[in-house]
Amino acid sequence: MLSKDDYLSGQVLLIDKPLNWTSFQVVNKLRWEIRRAFKIKKIKVGHAGTLDPLATGLLVICTGKMTKQIDTFQAQTKEYTGTITLGSTTPSFDLETEIDNTFPTEHITETLIHKTTEQFIGDIQQLPPVFSAIKKDGKRLYEFARAGESVNIKPRTVSISAFEITKITGMQADFRVVCSKGTYIRSLANDFGKALQSGAHLSALRRTKIGDFNIADATSIDGFINSLKS
């Protein structure tokens, strides 16, 4: 069992973020539980890379002096698994918003799906989603999007070292992606649909690795809270 001094001197906690939690909510919950367990008035707690509320999986949480390593962890390669739904798009590129357009899918074959992934390997140009937390002119992009205001977004260079389709069920394509910091899997799903001469959106996402950190070694929020009591 870790002590108060352990958390203050610095720990790296691997948490399996549940669906519908923000990364900020997870950080706040863990901070509160650590403070309560050890009667600490103040402790630094932060995460090394945001996960959207609709995504699950690995959050690297740093406490105490280990928060100084957050930038280093954030810069590491990440791995994701998930599902892309073909034939329809949403404004947010995922299930945060409703489907706004549908597209033909009759021409899409399993061979075409697998072949099209090759277009996205290496350094690529990617437009971040308008429903994202990136700041422009002092405002988050999602603030512009929710207000119905158009905004000019510049493409970014990101690197994808692996993009494989692991299962196809109808128009549901399960995938595995290994990518650089700053890659938006929602944007990848949207661009993948365009490359198929159709449309697509992200319908499930799970982060499985950050650098050498693996989801297999992560614990649930409840599991972490119970460890504080033992």
Q: In tens digits, what is the pLDDT along the chain, a chain of 230 residues?
A: 899 999 999 999 999 999 999 999 999 999 999 999 999 999 999 999 999 899 999 999 999 999 999 999 999 999 999 999 999 999 999 999 999 999 999 999 999 999 999 999 999 999 887 766 566 566 665 565 566 666 667 889 999 999 999 999 999 999 999 999 999 999 999 999 999 999 999 999 999 999 999 999 999 999 999 999 87
Kindly give, in sequence order, each residue whose CB lies less than 8 Å from that of residue 69, ignoring residues fewer than 6 positions away: 12, 48, 62
CATH number at residue 69: 3.30.2350.10
Provide the 10 A C-beta neighbour count for residue 2: 14
Structural domain count of the chain: 2
52 is catalytic: yes
Check whether residue 70 and residue 82 sit in a common domain: no
Q: Which two tokens stand for residue 184?
A: 């938006």
What is the pLDDT, as a whole number, of residue 142? Answer: 59
CB 162 within 8 A of CB 180: no
Same domain as 130, residue 87: yes
Residues 61 and 108 in one domain: no
Instruction: Considering the candidates 5, 6, 16, 52, report the single residue annotated as catalytic.
Output: 52
